[in-house]
Amino acid sequence: MSIDLSKVRRDTPGTQKVCHFNNAGSALPPKPVIDAQIAHLELEAAVGGYEAADQEIKRIEAVYDSIADLICADSRDEIAIVENATVAWDMAFYSIPLQNGDRILTSEAEYGANFVAFLQTAKRKGVIVDVVPSTESGELDVIALDAMMDRTVKLVAVSHVPTNGGLINPAPAIGQITKAHGALYLLDACQSIGQMPINVREIGCDLLSATGRKYLRGPRGIGFLYARQQIIQMLEPPIIDHYAAEWTSPTTFMLRPDARRFENWENNYAAKLGLGAAVDYALAIGLEPIWERIQELAIKLRERLSERPNIKVMDIGSQNCGIVTFVVDGECPYKIMQQLRDKGINISVSDPSSTLIDSTRRKLPPILRASVHYYNDEGEIDSLLDALP
Ligand SMILES: Cc1ncc(COP(=O)(O)O)c(C=O)c1O
């Protein structure tokens, strides 16, 4: 089934105003996402925040079902909805009982927020952080990963799609290895969710973190964590309140049995409902057609950029996603980003510090990042190319 482009563009008011190629930053939301948030904010203003949440409880609860459907989780009880992907990832990571001498394996393209948490834990607990080398084409090398696995490896934590390019790490192959060796597998799906089909059962991850505002086209300030039912009991969140844990007596508490032990009581319900609307919108279109069109547009953009003698495409990986990165000879990327923004074309710059291991290895300067979504059209790609030096 192909995507009805004129409908999705009509549904997306932002497409009338800008050519938006910053979907890996924060995508343009469709009308149902905007409406869901505004309607709830208006309800809160009209009847009171607590009363509005009570009134909308069924729709709020249904967001968990939508997310479980999106990632093919076994149950809604495996989903926690939190502030963003970093909180989701941190709540998962800091819950894992790691000890002196335990090893964490990660990828070269790992995201900065995750890596500093590794380093802090190494400093605090004496765990060892090892980076799995990449193949020649740029993906995490699963043969090397397999060879590095032993009983000291307690966690493999990898970014599915890194922030700085079109690379897709081999998530299911990593899952087979972690399963064979009994290590936990935490997948950062912040950039892949909403862009491509994600099936946690096929991938075999124990934990997965994601955000709302990027390829899912949801609101800012909302994200979610998936925690596989069978491992929830062994994970004690680093921060709890009396929603995450029942206060059972003056001296005791009991953690919730489900993934909501990673949440806390106060919530941005408008954003939560907006996230649910975003997930439902993506599911209604279908993740397969979304993924197909994103790849098609990204291939076109990469080809057109590569035709320019003054432009070098920087993406690595044997199969690429919608994040297209490039440099323009002798030009400051931040200046180009601003010049384009002045013309109503949004792209971003990926700074080496957000993926320091990969950036150091590839000697990357700040690079331009144009991330395409299915609602972009060919005319917008023409406009972007016309506007580049
Ligand atoms: C790979 C990756 N992981 C995690 C994050 C953090 O997401 P959030 O800003 O929602 O916490 C980002 C943000 O760009 C990212 O690209």
Measured CA distances, 206 to 13, 108, 120, 176, 309 (Å)? 37, 21, 22, 12, 45
Scanning the chain, the segments in alpha helix (DSSP H) are 5-10, 31-47, 49-55, 57-71, 85-93, 112-125, 142-148, 171-181, 200-203, 229-232, 269-285, 287-306, 333-342, 356-361, 378-387
Say how far apart CA 191 and CA 25 lie, in whole Å.
9
Looking at residue 33, its pLDDT comes to 98
> Greatest CA separation found in the chain?
71
**Confidence band, pLDDT 50/70/90 cuts, at residue 328:** very high
Residues 6 or more apart whose Cβ sits within 8 Å of residue 215: 23, 24, 27, 191, 192, 193, 194, 195, 322, 373
Output the six-digit token pair for 177.
Answer: 């290895």
Say how far apart CA 286 and CA 288 lie, in whole Å.
5
Each residue of 210-252: pLDDT tens digit?
999 999 999 999 999 999 999 999 999 999 999 999 999 999 9
Looking at residue 348, its pLDDT comes to 98
Each residue of 120-174: pLDDT tens digit?
999 999 999 999 999 999 999 999 999 999 999 999 999 999 999 999 999 999 9
Looking at residue 272, its pLDDT comes to 98
Measured CA distances, 142 to 90, 136, 138, 148, 171 (Å)? 25, 12, 11, 10, 10
Average pLDDT, the chain: 98
Ligand 1: which atom is nearest the Cα of residue 160? 1
Ligand 1: which atom is nearest the Cα of residue 212? 10
Say how far apart CA 227 and CA 360 lie, in whole Å.
32
Q: Is a pLDDT exceeding 80 seen at residue 317?
A: yes
Each residue of 184-216: pLDDT tens digit?
999 999 999 999 999 999 999 999 999 999 999
Average pLDDT, integer, range 38-46: 98
Say how far apart CA 84 and CA 190 lie, in whole Å.
9
| Residue of 106, 107, 114, 211 to mutate, ligand 1, most atoms within 8 A of C-beta | 211
Q: How many angstroms does the Cα of residue 84 sit away from the middle of ligand 1?
A: 8
Alpha carbon 221 to its chain's center: 13
Say how far apart CA 190 and CA 221 lie, in whole Å.
13
Measured CA distances, 350 to 311, 367, 374 (Å)? 16, 5, 21
Residues 6 or more apart whose Cβ sits within 8 Å of residue 190: 85, 89, 111, 159, 161, 163, 209, 210, 211, 214, 223
User: Strand 207-211 and strand 184-188: pairing?
Assistant: parallel
Say how far apart CA 301 and CA 144 lie, in whole Å.
33
Q: How many angstroms does the Cα of residue 50 sit away from the middle of ligand 1?
A: 30
Contact 232, 3 (CB under 8 A): no
| Residue of 83, 114, 164, 191 to mutate, ligand 1, most atoms within 8 A of C-beta | 191
Q: How many angstroms does the Cα of residue 221 sit away from the middle of ligand 1?
A: 11
Name the phi and psi angles at 311, rounded to 5. -120, 140
Q: What is the DSSP string of 190-209?
A: TTTBTTB---HHHHT-SEEE
Contact 254, 279 (CB under 8 A): no
Measured CA distances, 70 to 124, 212, 224 (Å)? 36, 12, 12
Q: How many angstroms does the Cα of residue 88 sit away from the middle of ligand 1?
A: 10
Q: How many angstroms does the Cα of residue 57 sit away from the middle of ligand 1?
A: 29
Say how far apart CA 256 and CA 246 lie, in whole Å.
7
Contact 157, 109 (CB under 8 A): no
The amino acid present at 128, given as its one-letter code, is I
Average pLDDT, integer, range 19-48: 98
- 303 CB-contact burial (10 Å; exposed 0-12 / middle 13-18 / buried 19+): exposed
**Rg of the chain (C-alpha set):** 21
Say how far apart CA 146 and CA 177 lie, in whole Å.
6
Q: How many angstroms does the Cα of residue 272 sit away from the middle of ligand 1?
A: 18
Residues with CB under 6 A from ligand 1: 84-86, 111, 113, 159, 162-163, 188, 190-191, 211, 223
Of 1, 223, 248, the closest CA to residue 90 belongs to 223
Nearest CA to ligand 1 atom 3: 190
Ligand 1: which atom is nearest the Cα of residue 88? 11
Looking at residue 110, its pLDDT comes to 98
Contact 205, 175 (CB under 8 A): yes
